Structure 1
């Protein structure tokens, strides 16, 4: 089975590198590592092995008793690392790093590195800054120079500072480029659809292409989900210990417990990134969201009214919004606890509080962000973001998708003989 791994990310000396591992035929991520056991360890590098098909990073991690324990982390493929300018000099022995990833299923001191962060001390070392070599073509051409040519090349005078007229010209060019960039941004903003009152008009049929509904957090491929890097800022949800236990139980029985499988209302924010379209009808005083799944209807009030003082707990909460420039900011609360965030069992309590931000990136693309708080489940607030795309296909429309009625279809319409 081919392996579609996550993208390990290496941060070093202020530069960001994406390191993709090659397709590996002899084992899969899920066979060796546990996507349900994220780990974060800080330690000192003891060895870096750049060998095919996997590189390995080893570090000593200080234990509670003060003694070090050596951990090994599967890293990017050497070829991919080299393409990004990453060599052994990038992670010198003795440098301090923090590794975030997943633990091995066998419980030993091994893991899969998703993120490796060098400490500030390590970044200051010259070896950590030598990230790139001269292109091969340049090195070969230098070798073909005669001794006299190489001598002349080495004695070339350093580049002189620009004269005053040159400096003025450079500044003028920079100002012009900035003005053109600002003009392009303003032009894109002016093109977005607007209501008669000048506010952005989000009316239309929208849908995400993300895999957020399968699992908000990074995960490898599994039988019921494609792999994904996740949509959560910081990668993982900050569960309280008891809540994490419940999440793990939900995951284990997700094929039975997921409310969506029962046809229930998806809730907020799940209804936005569920892989079915929804339609927005917008007026000055409100937005009405109609979801294809379950045909749920949600109203976002933009008339300046506040949340009810003696509310019920709703499946979709109560939504009150205001404008911040061209962004719609929606405060949503008064939920019940009957919905999940995704198919992986990520859940909430009735203390859930969501703050959404809707912003046009262009006339047919919305950036959707959600800030989540729930002190009964999470140790701190967290954020997610997805892109929404306008459906522009000819004659595209919502088609009612009622799941909970399917078990009763055989009884309707009633038969004349009552059978």
Structure 2
């Protein structure tokens, strides 16, 4: 009986080993072929204009605030034991987020004096968005982020450029966007990502984003925004 069990066990081990070897061989061939393929040459220009095709990612802290800001232990804070602004602690609703809810410091991405000429009502919206971040930030709910925020979130996106269309596929929330370089009628209603119409000014791509969903844009974390033009 022991010899029979040993024989069955040995045959089982051999079967597993052969199967594992076969899978390993298939994976090795597949990976080798993928790594061995030379990338297609990307033309520097498309239709006489700069070619933006490729993988892009914003490597800055604009997703938390476009302007210069200090690092914070959380996006929403409350007074701690010591009555100083630098000694504030994470507010109870965001405490469970831990380090994921922290805000990294930044010198800002606004050129010049670093200031944004907010209208008083927009500045009020920005303040309210910061105070109610956990309720208003579309990123926390995995909603579409809207424009321009989708361009400076800390996730990669891919641009595929043609002569009359530029398509952008974002990693976050599987978002997609098309910039129309030709005349195309806009959508019949507001959309989360807006309607993007582009034009070339020399080698500079200028994009107007219209018909954005106001309930989305006005809830961008720490920003006030105009629904008419982005």
| 1:280 counterpart residue number | 159
Q: CA deviation at 1:340?
A: 4.6
Q: TM-score, normalised by structure 2?
A: 0.62
Q: CA deviation at 1:222?
A: 0.6
- Once residues 240 and 295 of structure 1 are traced to their aligned partners in structure 2, the CA distance between those partners, rounded to angstroms, is 33
1:229 aligns with 2:107: yes
Check whether the contact 1:216–1:342 (CA below 8 A) recurs between aligned residues. Answer: no
| 1:201 counterpart residue number | 51
- Once residues 269 and 242 of structure 1 are traced to their aligned partners in structure 2, the CA distance between those partners, rounded to angstroms, is 20
- Once residues 61 and 197 of structure 2 are traced to their aligned partners in structure 1, the CA distance between those partners, rounded to angstroms, is 28
Check whether the contact 1:192–1:200 (CA below 8 A) recurs between aligned residues. Answer: no
Cα RMSD, aligned residues only: 2.4
1:269 aligns with 2:119: no
Check whether the contact 1:258–1:340 (CA below 8 A) recurs between aligned residues. Answer: no
Instruction: Encode CA deviations 1:157-203: one digit per residue, 9 max, x unaligned.
Output: xxxxxxxxxxxxxxxxxxxxxxxxxxxxxxxxxx97122x3222211
| 2:190 counterpart residue number | 313
| Match runs of 1:116-135 below 5 Å | none
| 1:145 counterpart residue number | none
**In proportion to residue count, which structure has more helix?**
2
Q: Which runs of 5+ in 1 are unaligned?
A: 1-190, 355-419
Secondary structure of the residue aligned to 1:251 is helix
Residues 271, 231 of structure 1: CA spacing in aligned structure 2 closer, same or farther, 3 A cutoff? Answer: same
Q: CA deviation at 1:231?
A: 1.4
Check whether the contact 1:319–1:333 (CA below 8 A) recurs between aligned residues. Answer: yes
Residues 294, 326 of structure 1: CA spacing in aligned structure 2 closer, same or farther, 3 A cutoff? Answer: same
Secondary structure of the residue aligned to 1:288 is strand
1:213 aligns with 2:92: no
- Once residues 323 and 241 of structure 1 are traced to their aligned partners in structure 2, the CA distance between those partners, rounded to angstroms, is 33
| Match runs of 1:96-175 below 5 Å | none
Task: Please identify runs of 4+ aligned residues in structure 1 that moved more than 6 A.
Answer: none
Check whether the contact 1:213–1:342 (CA below 8 A) recurs between aligned residues. Answer: no
Q: How many correspondences in the alignment? A: 160
| Match runs of 1:19-58 below 5 Å | none
Residues 340, 222 of structure 1: CA spacing in aligned structure 2 closer, same or farther, 3 A cutoff? Answer: farther
Q: Which runs of 5+ in 2 are unaligned?
A: 1-41, 74-101
Give the greater-gyration-radius structure (CA): 1
**In proportion to residue count, which structure has more strand?**
1
